[in-house]
Structure 1
Amino acid sequence: MTFVKFNQAPAVKSFGGLVEDIFNHNGFSRFLKDDVHTNDFYGAYPPVNITENKEGYQVDLLVPGLAKEDFKINLENKVLTISAEKAAETKDENQKQLRREFSFRSFKRSFTLNEQVDAEKIQAKYENGILKLQLAKKEKVQDAAKAIVVE
């Protein structure tokens, strides 16, 4: 039987101590530099789930807010590339933007396929914000039974 050892919880800091840590120990500037000002803020790459069964593989990308026409899916030299680009929304001069928390970004993800994938049978479907790709496995061709005569 294996036991998991948990570390003791750190001492609780007061609000003033937290504020001091953030502003005096480069916590705030590190947050801005490491999280907000990078290309990966809010995820430049959509999350992906890949599953396998005996018929093939399923690749699911979480990409809400796009239309199926926004996607480009290419296969070249066993590299499957999935990308999307959405045109910027036009602003209505009669409306004032009070808050904007989401935007649409372009992305590009590539996956190297193994020899088992049948490139001719790849299918894609977009529904409910999830791009679903079915990658069928090649059928294993077995040699026909052959009787060998001993001479």
Structure 2
Amino acid sequence: MTFVKANNPLSKSFDGLMNELFNELPATFGKTMREDVLGFPPVNIVEKNDFYHLQVSAPGFEKADFNVKLDDKILTVSAERKEEAKTETDKVIRKEFSAKSFKRTFTLDEKIDAANISAKYENGILHVGLPKKEEVKAATKDITIQ
């Protein structure tokens, strides 16, 4: 499974420069930039014997905010949080919470059983299960000699 950049109108040379920049900076700085500036939530991908486990860190969202879609071999995980207009009588001194939307896409290979992909949102983490297809074993056949 590989990461595919989506909705990025920037040139490849700029992407290469940004990748080098983030790889050479301390991990925490790159992580902060990725989450805060670029809007990408961090993702862990774990391979097990019979499936891949995709974990998207997205605290503060509701289950209904997520959209997980498979289009051919492209898996898209997105979330949009709608901020309700509230009339509050309290004076807000500082507001750091914001409603950010995100979209991540991944290219799945032929090893994934697309019909059985599952998703669950729990404790701020979206868990996506990507089961592997059972390997087709070559059938043994005796051939008679004529």
TM over 0.5: yes
Give the distance between the partners of 1:62 and 1:56, measured in 2 at CA.
19
Letter in 2 for 1:146: K
SS at the partner of 2:36? coil
Give the distance between the partners of 2:34 and 2:116, measured in 1 at CA.
34
Find the counterpart in structure 2 of residue 138 from structure 1: 133
| Bigger Cα Rg | 1
Query: Higher RCO, 1 or 2 (CA under 8 Å, sep at least 6)?
Result: 2
Q: CA deviation at 1:127?
A: 0.3
With over 3 angstroms needed to count, the CA separation of the structure-2 counterparts of 1:39 and 1:48, relative to structure 1, is: closer
Unaligned runs of 5+ in 2: 1-32
Alpha-carbon RMSD: 1.9
Map Cα deviations across residues 6-59 of structure 1 (whole Å, 9 max, x no partner).
Answer: xxxxxxxxxxxxxxxxxxxxxxxxxxxxxxxx9963550100000112201010
Does residue 90 of structure 1 match 2:85? yes
Contact 2:34 2:40 in 1 (8 A): no
Q: TM-score, normalised by structure 2?
A: 0.72
Q: How does 1:4-83 map to 2 (within 5 A)?
A: 41-83=36-78
Q: TM-score, normalised by structure 1?
A: 0.70
Q: Percent identity?
A: 47
Does residue 147 of structure 1 match 2:116? no
Aligned residue pairs: how many?
114
Question: 4+ residue stretches of structure 1 with deviation over 6 A?
Answer: none
